A and B are shown apart, each in its own frame.
Chain A
């Protein structure tokens, strides 16, 4: 028994020696992960206390689930949840499919220079801040902006449309802008997956006489399906994490009924008002829901496809 243990240990040491460079670089990231992700997790205890900066977390300040419950008791809780779900769903459907389509289209381009230029240009919006994006969108969609001017000149409308101040346009507006901003960047993983497809499959397809569309349908999409499933499962973990900047910047008073989401509410009523426990509680709630969604979607993917991440 003892000999078996020492043999295992010797084996482990030999393996460690062989992989020392790998372990060195991995260790750096592990340390980073421990300090910046694992240790801060202790902060979730604040969600269960009536926390005031500077005061100790004593048992008499323990409030259980009060901070969680208070969110659902807010005036517009269901409106906020509705908006979050609608915008998230649009992002997870239209916003998820769009980069796949663009990646497939880019793959069909045969002119190398044009393809690379298009790819590079499509990445640019990702690096533009939301403040600048909001400014561009506002300029384009104002009553005397380019969009209204074009529609008027084409005779499609006889007076400018208030795109930015009419609530019913907000879901479409925020989805389009979010997709525009992230579209190019999101294609990178799909492009690399497509690049990794065995070319002999396409050659075999050509011999079998399938069309371009057939190659996409029967070769490219099935080959990148593991990537699609992987990204879908990872993205769904962030289903409720929409961020607040874009909604605050593009939302107006008259569209608040459509732009107020969990993130904007937590920012305005939690962080800005110094209600830290409340903010942490909602953050924790979103994370737990995200984790559940990841497990559920992974289980579904495992059952109905042969791909999963766990």
Chain B
């Protein structure tokens, strides 16, 4: 009896202790408490402005940040990679920045940080959902007073888009970790083996139908590879067939969002693609490929690597997806494995206007989908915002994306104080087939201490976005330098750069601002579960639909797909997306808060 009592007491104590332990990590002390720019402390700066346009502070500014990166590998490797830049930051900037990475799912890591109440000054690259978790627990700093005092260039970068990051009460706790408009880059496309197309004598496809006919003709000409393996028209690249509806629908002017693909109606309402005639049309179109044996029957089992191998082994005549597939699976491999590579052997990118609607082949989300916050652990948020503000400048973008300047480096600062890219970098190293990057990345580092840099070229900046950059750069962002081929010496272009020139002949950029379509659901919300359910069921039913043996079966399976999705709760998801769209539009023009104020007044009355 005594033993039982003892055991019960121990159990009770352990449960109590666990509750106490859980509570110990509880709610934190909160943010800085600064509510107005006048309360923001001064950052003590010297008179010295370094060559990169940074005003050197009197005391060393120390910042520790966690860079969320699910592909991160090893902290020691990262430290080694950044060692040179870190030293320059110390010597020339009087800044000591520590970057933390973890080879772990970032959501898991952030939740552990929250649970342990142990996280750094700044967190970069977190999702809206995770940023909101910090904000709701009062663990993020309200940025408005700091931006008002030290973030004028940040305001200039964002323009009105900054409103989309504001909370319902107008406060601002998070910024985008890479804001800005995308540039004139390639996007979604239909592509085709150019040399094989020439053999058929057919015109360059300019519609779904002519593309299908061309693929069919090519496969008839090339039923097997030289090693006897069957050639197909298309396969899937790691999306298990989702690209077969996504890309055609975007050619028809649909919008691609986090919650799905939608048609924007004339009255401003939205319709999920499965509920449109165009959706059914695309299903029949892809099913035609299947019925004719033009789709790789193992497309669902393909991951990215096997798809790349499939394309580079010449098992497909085309691709419906993105330009990146053609680059990695096509000519990048062919160029690097052949001594006498003929550029005619390439996946040519093709775009056209399938309907009256303008295609949306590149979704230009100005605020992107990842955020940066200053946490309540930061002792001097004003110093961090000062650093972020400097990051908006062209020289900062160059420094952070390409490392320090210098004669033997990727770029120099010219006599006018502008960034000038070295020809070796710009035209590429002939002995190095890396896309536009050459061996400069390992030499100079890249993505050095990036926190709130413009990820894309800011379009609404007061100055010309290209200003401060020497020709032939039309635009620059943290990922790519966008070639201005008209001003470049064609003889100097490397083969992979020439691919861009070739592709420009048959493809056009269709870039659409989709920023107002942004939405994020709390992980435990009904909408989040429905979103996942819809995603799963849609892919299952879609694959069954396009694998139908007859048109009638395809129709019946399409009907079943529509029914299944509505049974799951598609209407709720669409309603949530519609509301997010309306709210974002109202936030963008500022009316959101006017309406809120009116509602509050009405409620008070």
Q: Which residues of A contact B (CB under 8 A)?
A: 41-43, 45-46, 50-58, 74-75, 138, 142-144, 160, 162, 164-165, 252-254, 256-257, 268-269, 271-276
Asked whether A57 and B240 contact (CB < 8 A) given A142-B301, A253-B543, A254-B544, the answer is no
A138 to B114, CA, bound (A): 40
Given A45-B18, A165-B543, A273-B528, 17 further pairs, Cβ under 8 A: A42-B15, A42-B17, A50-B524, A53-B115, A53-B133, A54-B137, A56-B25, A138-B301, A142-B301, A143-B298, A252-B240, A252-B300, A253-B542, A254-B540, A256-B536, A268-B532, A273-B532
The answer to whether B240 touches A144, judged by C-beta atoms less than 8 angstroms apart, is no
Asked whether A58 and B23 contact (CB < 8 A) given A42-B15, A42-B17, A143-B297, the answer is yes
The answer to whether A269 touches B14, judged by C-beta atoms less than 8 angstroms apart, is no
Q: Quick one: which of B5-33 are within 8 Å of A by CB?
A: 14-15, 17-19, 21-28
The answer to whether A56 touches B240, judged by C-beta atoms less than 8 angstroms apart, is no
Task: Sample 10 A-B pairs with CB under 8 A, ordered by A number.
Answer: A42-B14, A45-B15, A52-B133, A56-B24, A75-B568, A142-B298, A165-B301, A165-B543, A256-B536, A273-B523
The answer to whether B114 touches A269, judged by C-beta atoms less than 8 angstroms apart, is no
Q: How far is the CB of B117 from chain A (nearest CB, A)?
A: 7
The answer to whether A54 touches B25, judged by C-beta atoms less than 8 angstroms apart, is yes
The answer to whether B26 touches A55, judged by C-beta atoms less than 8 angstroms apart, is yes
- Give B21's nearest chain A residue, CB to CB: A42
Residues of B within 8 A of A46 (CB): 22
Residues of B within 8 A of A138 (CB): 301
A50 to B522, CA, bound (A): 13
Q: Quick one: which of B512-528 are within 8 Å of A by CB?
A: 523-524, 528
A268 to B27, CA, bound (A): 28
Q: How far is the CB of A13 from chain B (nearest CB, A)?
A: 22
The answer to whether B23 touches A165, judged by C-beta atoms less than 8 angstroms apart, is no
- Give B14's nearest chain A residue, CB to CB: A42
Q: Which residues of B contact A (CB under 8 A)?
A: 14-15, 17-19, 21-28, 107-108, 110-112, 114-115, 117, 129, 133, 137, 139, 229-230, 240-241, 297-298, 300-301, 523-524, 528-529, 532-533, 536, 539-540, 542-544, 547, 568
A122 to B543, CA, bound (A): 37
The answer to whether A165 touches B300, judged by C-beta atoms less than 8 angstroms apart, is yes
Asked whether A55 and B137 contact (CB < 8 A) given A42-B17, A142-B298, A254-B540, the answer is yes
Q: How far is the CB of A178 from chain B (nearest CB, A)?
A: 19
A58 to B27, CA, bound (A): 11
A276 to B241, CA, bound (A): 31
The answer to whether B23 touches A257, judged by C-beta atoms less than 8 angstroms apart, is no
Asked whether A164 and B133 contact (CB < 8 A) given A56-B25, A257-B540, the answer is no
Q: How far is the CB of A152 from chain B (nearest CB, A)?
A: 12
Q: Identify A53's interface contact among B111, B129, B240, B568, CB under 8 A.
A: B111
A252 to B230, CA, bound (A): 23
Q: How far is the CB of B9 from chain A (nearest CB, A)?
A: 15
Majority secondary structure, A binding face: loop
Q: How far is the CB of B395 from chain A (nearest CB, A)?
A: 38
The answer to whether B133 touches A54, judged by C-beta atoms less than 8 angstroms apart, is yes
A272 to B108, CA, bound (A): 8
Residues of B within 8 A of A271 (CB): 108
Residues of B within 8 A of A41 (CB): 14
The answer to whether A53 touches B17, judged by C-beta atoms less than 8 angstroms apart, is no
Residues of A within 8 A of B547 (CB): 254
Asked whether A254 and B300 contact (CB < 8 A) given A274-B107, A274-B111, A274-B523, the answer is yes
The answer to whether B27 touches A56, judged by C-beta atoms less than 8 angstroms apart, is yes
Q: How far is the CB of A59 from chain B (nearest CB, A)?
A: 9
Q: How far is the CB of A231 from chain B (nearest CB, A)?
A: 30
The answer to whether B241 touches A253, judged by C-beta atoms less than 8 angstroms apart, is yes
The answer to whether B532 touches A164, judged by C-beta atoms less than 8 angstroms apart, is no
- Give B536's nearest chain A residue, CB to CB: A256
A164 to B299, CA, bound (A): 11
- Give B315's nearest chain A residue, CB to CB: A144
Residues of A within 8 A of B15 (CB): 42, 45
A230 to B400, CA, bound (A): 62
The answer to whether A56 touches B26, judged by C-beta atoms less than 8 angstroms apart, is yes
A44 to B23, CA, bound (A): 15
Residues of B within 8 A of A165 (CB): 297-298, 300-301, 543
The answer to whether B22 touches A57, judged by C-beta atoms less than 8 angstroms apart, is yes
The answer to whether B301 touches A57, judged by C-beta atoms less than 8 angstroms apart, is no
Asked whether A164 and B298 contact (CB < 8 A) given A45-B19, A253-B540, A257-B540, the answer is yes
A165 to B299, CA, bound (A): 10
The answer to whether A144 touches B230, judged by C-beta atoms less than 8 angstroms apart, is yes
A43 to B523, CA, bound (A): 21
Q: How far is the CB of B576 from chain A (nearest CB, A)?
A: 16
Q: How far is the CB of A134 from chain B (nearest CB, A)?
A: 9
- Give A54's nearest chain B residue, CB to CB: B114
Asked whether A253 and B23 contact (CB < 8 A) given A53-B111, A144-B229, the answer is no
Residues of B within 8 A of A43 (CB): 18
Asked whether A42 and B540 contact (CB < 8 A) given A52-B133, A54-B114, A144-B230, the answer is no
A165 to B296, CA, bound (A): 12
Residues of B within 8 A of A253 (CB): 240-241, 300, 536, 539-540, 542-543
A50 to B139, CA, bound (A): 20
Q: How far is the CB of A41 from chain B (nearest CB, A)?
A: 8
- Give A43's nearest chain B residue, CB to CB: B18
A45 to B23, CA, bound (A): 13
Asked whether A55 and B18 contact (CB < 8 A) given A165-B300, A269-B529, A274-B523, the answer is no
